[in-house]
Structure 1
């Protein structure tokens, strides 16, 4: 998966990815471009995925692509924000201060930009096979946060520099761990990190 990929531990897997490992891909509906950070494969259907993390640059208002069976989580990183309308329901306004917003990928979703382009973080998960939680972790200088899990843990550096039990995580880098166990996320200078815990069903 690129020059940074692949450190194996006893019974565990860790991958550290950076911008050279990411892929720029057109939206499914052709309306924009997404930078794919990480894609975990579907266990039986090569054309689908188990989970996918990406950052999209949204330059104009318009419809979102439709992803049947996918649970989506979106988080605005930069820009004034956007308003999402799902299937004719009242708009949901999102900006960089908003919590992560979860919605079904099969819903007809329209995006209205509030004042210019935005960048947003996207998490997509095959609903029938897995569930995921996304949290934005703000670490003050010298701050720490315990992270643990038996499934998959993905961390993405948004700002500053952090480390996970000695493994560095810089801005725009991504760490992916399987069966991470108990670990400590810390930062000497302060950092903002997106933390995702993925659990497979069954």
Structure 2
């Protein structure tokens, strides 16, 4: 179990040079040190433009703040993300163009090397005093967006991340209410 906070996060330039993202966590690739197995980040997007291309990577994106974006995937109709906390999954090798819908946005990004692992992402809204089971897994990542939550005695505040490896079933609890992004990584056979 590893707890991460703002002192552990790094501001990184986008691969295409179009902006900067705050990298919350980058799990090392098991066989290629130049790549990552999984990466969590929060990006501030101030202008419309192309996304960076990541061949072999499955991406999930969701809006945290702002009016939203419209994403173009080649000749298909735009996909509009104008509601916060609604994840959209797409392949990293897709050529994606982003159009802001009314000013800057902040978005949450999950990227996973699809040859090694697959991921599920859920946004959990915990009422005060509520506890939810966190399934066991190869790797479980929890990021608190709002409020406070705890797992096995590890207390997390807003903008903190918990990395659980080979985790047993546990309970995610909140005394005052919380919004938590829960990610489960599973090895591919």
TM-score by length of 1: 0.91
* Aligned pair partner of 2:27 in 20, 34, 40: 40
Structure 1 CA distance for aligned equivalents of residues 32 and 166 of structure 2: 24
Residue 162 in 1 paired to residue 154 in 2? Answer: no
Instruction: Answer yes or no: is 1:179 the counterpart of 2:149.
Output: no
2:131 is matched with which residue? 144
- Tell me, yes or no, if the aligned pair for 2:117 and 2:186 is still in contact at 8 Å: yes
Question: Which sections of structure 2, spanning at least 5 residues, go unmatched?
Answer: none
Aligned length: 189
**1:179, CA displacement in angstroms?**
1.2
Q: Secondary structure at the match of 2:7?
A: helix
Write out per-residue CA displacement over residues 71-90 of structure 1, whole angstroms, 9 at most, x where no aligned residue: 00001000010011112211
Q: Deviations over 1:15-58 (max 9, x none)?
A: 00000100000000000000001011111111111101100000
**Aligned partners of 2:159, 2:96: CA distance in 1, in Å?**
28
- 2:4 maps to what in 1? 17
Query: Which of the residues 57, 68, 83 maps onto 1:81?
Result: 68
| Residue matched to 1:51 | 38
Residue number in structure 2 paired with 1:7: none
Q: CA deviation at 1:95?
A: 2.6
> What's 2:87 paired with?
100
- Secondary structure of the equivalent of 2:167? coil
Match 1:196 to one of 146, 162, 183? 183
Tell me if structure 1 keeps the 8 A contact 2:64–2:85: no
Structure 1, unpaired ranges of 5+? 1-13
Q: CA–CA distance in 2 between the matches of 1:96 and 1:87?
A: 23
Separation of aligned partners in 1, 2:167 and 2:7 = 24
Deviates more, 1:38-47 or 1:189-198: 38-47
Structure 2 match to 1:4: none
How far apart, in 1, do the equivalents of 2:40 and 2:85 lie? 19
Determine the C-alpha separation between the residues in 1 that align with 2:137 and 2:12.
31
Partner SS, residue 19 of structure 1: coil
Query: Structure 1: how far apart are the matches of 2:169 and 2:60?
Result: 25
